[in-house]
Amino acid sequence: MNSVYLNSFEEFLKYQDSKEKMYLLLVSENCDFNHETIKNLNINCYGAIFPEIIFEKQHYKDGLIAIDIDIEPILVNNMENKIEDEKKFSSIKSMLLFVDGLSPYIDPFLVSLFESTNEECKIFGGGAGKLTLQQERVIFTPEYITQNSALIIPLSQDLDVGVSHGWEYLDGPHVATSSSKNVLEQIDYEYAFDVYKNIVEKDSGLKFSEDNFFELAKSYPLGIVSYSGEIIVRDPIASDGKSLVLVGVMPQNSVIQVLKGEKSKLIEAAKFAAINAMDTKKEKELVIMIDCISRVLFLEDSFVKEIDSVSNIIGDLPLVGALTLGEIANKSDTYIDFYNKTCVVGTL
């Protein structure tokens, strides 16, 4: 799978040279991408818009990555609807999956997709969207650009996946006593924000104000304790003073923890994700890194060390990726998880 970074949409228009070629585009939110032009010129490209993109050892706020693909992607136009044409997915052995990262329908869609694929199918990807955290049309095909949608890119290559986050326990356990989709209303029968606020302010020595919620919350995610003991991270992105708005669903009565991170532990976690993705004897031709944009906001200038930690494991293999609003992965016959603040590495 050939890939190239182009610093503008105009550069892509010059680069694409054949109506018969098919491209997957990873587009940064600051890119001057124009879907009308794609449609009018009938360029055969599919993709999504992300806060930032990764190419080789750098992350970019501008430009796009074009990847040659040989199987036509599938657009799921409305994730709210259950998948009915299961035959379309049953023969796919591995796939890259991009969803509208701010849609409230991600989790039920992943359940429906899991039920529609064969148990050997490996799936990974992430949530598209912009750092404004306002839902927009961010998933596109040659004909459409949509929201509340998903793009499935079937892969002809075998896929291996590694997942790790590096966040550690700070406080809990607690119970999500009231929640609705991605809104956590109560923790232990008290307003969720009040409980969260007390824990975070005590540990950080800082105070929440009207305009600093995300700045403080980015260092203190929530963790859902799964039946297997794995911690599924949830990213609080907003509050109305009572509830917490999360990226991803919070099932009611979930056992949860408040987590905290150290930069070195997050960087080490990305290394482990890469090691796990490379832990087969199969030949590899491409590495795709799906990493949460809030890890960049937390690590700041140290985020390049996280990319380096992956690059050091994969050697000379080409590296592409996106900084996302939520990360997606499964391991064959286990349920498809929607993560936050996590590094997912896929090798093809």
Instruction: Render each residue's pLDDT in the chain as its tens digit; 348 residues.
Output: 889 999 999 999 999 876 678 999 999 999 999 999 999 998 999 999 999 999 999 999 999 999 999 999 999 999 998 887 767 777 888 999 999 999 989 989 999 998 888 888 899 999 999 999 899 999 999 999 999 999 999 998 888 999 999 999 999 999 999 999 899 999 999 999 999 999 999 999 999 998 899 889 999 999 999 887 789 999 999 999 999 999 888 999 999 999 998 999 999 999 999 999 998 777 899 999 999 999 999 999 999 999 999 999 999 999 999 999 999 998 656 678 899 999 999 999
Which of the listed residues 213, 239, 260 is the one where a domain comes to its end? 260
DSSP state of 11: H
Q: Which of 181, 24, 214, 184 is nearest to 103 (CA)?
A: 181
- CB neighbour list of residue 141: distance below 8 Å, 6 or more residues apart: 46, 73, 75, 151
Whether 188 and 202 share a structural domain: yes
Q: CB neighbours (10 Å) of residue 204?
A: 13
Which of the listed residues 225, 260, 295 is the one where a domain comes to its end? 260
Count of domains for the chain: 2
Predicted confidence at residue 20, as pLDDT, reads: 75
Whether 283 and 338 share a structural domain: yes
Whether 25 and 109 share a structural domain: yes
Whether 252 and 269 share a structural domain: no
Whether 269 and 340 share a structural domain: yes
Predicted confidence at residue 18, as pLDDT, reads: 66
Whether 197 and 119 share a structural domain: no
Which of the listed residues 260, 278, 305 is the one where a domain comes to its end? 260
Q: Give whole-number Cα distances, 151 to 45, 144, 239, 258, in Å.
A: 12, 11, 30, 32
Q: CB neighbours (10 Å) of residue 338?
A: 23
Q: pTM to 2 decimals?
A: 0.91
Whether 284 and 158 share a structural domain: yes
Whether 39 and 130 share a structural domain: yes
Whether 307 and 325 share a structural domain: yes
Predicted confidence at residue 298, as pLDDT, reads: 92
Q: What is the full DSSP assignment across 188-209? A: TTEEHHHHHHHHHHHHHS----
Whether 136 and 73 share a structural domain: yes
Predicted confidence at residue 86, as pLDDT, reads: 65
Q: Which of 61, 46, 206 is nearest to 131 (CA)?
A: 61
Q: Which ranges in the chain belong to alpha helices (H)? A: 9-15, 35-41, 87-90, 106-116, 192-204, 213-217, 263-277, 293-299, 303-314
Q: Give whole-number Cα distances, 304 to 59, 62, 267, 323, 325, in Å.
A: 8, 16, 9, 13, 19
Whether 198 and 307 share a structural domain: no
**What is the span of the domain harbouring residue 250?**
168-260
CA 135 to chain centre: 15
Predicted confidence at residue 343, as pLDDT, reads: 96
Whether 151 and 249 share a structural domain: no
